[in-house]
Amino acid sequence: MPKVLLLGGASETAPLALKLAQQSFQVLVSTATDEPLAVGEHTAISRRCGRLTLEEMGQLITQEHCCALVDATHPYAKEAHRVARLACEQTQRPYLRYQRPESEQRDSRWLYADNHEQAALLACELAKPILLTVGSRNLRPYVEAATKCGLPLYARVLEHPESVAACDAAGLDSSQRIFGRGPFSFEDNLNLLQKHQIGVLVTKESGAAGGVLEKWRAAQQQGCRFVVVKRPQEPSEHVYSCMDQLITSLRQRLNAQEFA
């Protein structure tokens, strides 16, 4: 049974791992942290935890005799995507990435930013309390902009040592940290916006699976400005938004290698 290394961590990890296992692949799910995560109940699925350098990822692929790597990390995990592609190039294994679709329902009132620095400036323009729902890795530009403008700023992040360390490094005070793990409902978001009298909500374009629409509905209800950080521009080769198409392509590439 061929083995696939599946880089996971997002909500698509379990359904994609299950599809691969049901198609007679062994699946080694690799996640950067040890946070609780459903990876699929199947005897052919196993999991390891811990961030991997390029060298470590290459070693893992070789030692585990993985025939391919499937990258199902977050759409904004640009560095993870880069390292995974390079590891596949070095080990001569096929690289395929699952990219969750963007939101189908959008609104002309969404304010798009190319990056977090631009989003921080947009968020501060309204001069109202800000809620960040962009994770913990890119907090610094928001903290700096909000501090300069004297604006209340809150960030919803995972309660995990890495997230806490990132908050510390960005200068985000403990009183500004809201710990939680999604998915968050419309009611969850609205209650948070009302509690802190939020006037600006900042999010990534993480699609329906990332809860963008629940955030937008709550922002509308509260009358908040809605700032959306665009997805990073990356190579589009071997990137799929349909799991079945990804698995079909995987089989084709493996068959082509076998008869090459």
Tens of pLDDT, residues 8-25: 988 889 999 999 999 999
Better-scored residue on pLDDT, 11 or 59: 59
Cα–Cα distance measured from residue 257 to residue 177, given in angstroms and rounded to the nearest whole number:
49
pTM, 2 dp: 0.83
Cα–Cα distance measured from residue 31 to residue 39, given in angstroms and rounded to the nearest whole number:
10
Model confidence at 58, pLDDT cuts 50, 70, 90, reads very high
Look at residue 130 and give its three-state secondary structure: strand
Please check the confidence at residue 258 and state whether its pLDDT lies above 70.
no
Sign of CA dihedral 49, 53, 57, 63: negative
Q: Which domains does the chain have, with CATH numbers?
A: 3-101+234-258 (3.40.50.720), 111-229 (3.40.50.1000)
Please check the confidence at residue 107 and state whether its pLDDT lies above 80.
no
Tens of pLDDT, residues 200-232: 999 998 877 788 999 999 999 999 999 999 998
Residue 60 bridge partners (DSSP): none
Among 84, 81, 100, which Cα is nearest to 233's? 81
Cα–Cα distance measured from residue 205 to residue 15, given in angstroms and rounded to the nearest whole number:
21
Neighbour count for residue 50 (Cβ, 10 Å): 10
What pLDDT sits at residue 227?
A: 97
* H helix intervals, 64-130: 78-91, 116-125
Cα–Cα distance measured from residue 34 to residue 48, given in angstroms and rounded to the nearest whole number:
8
**Distance, C-alpha 198 to centroid of its chain:** 24
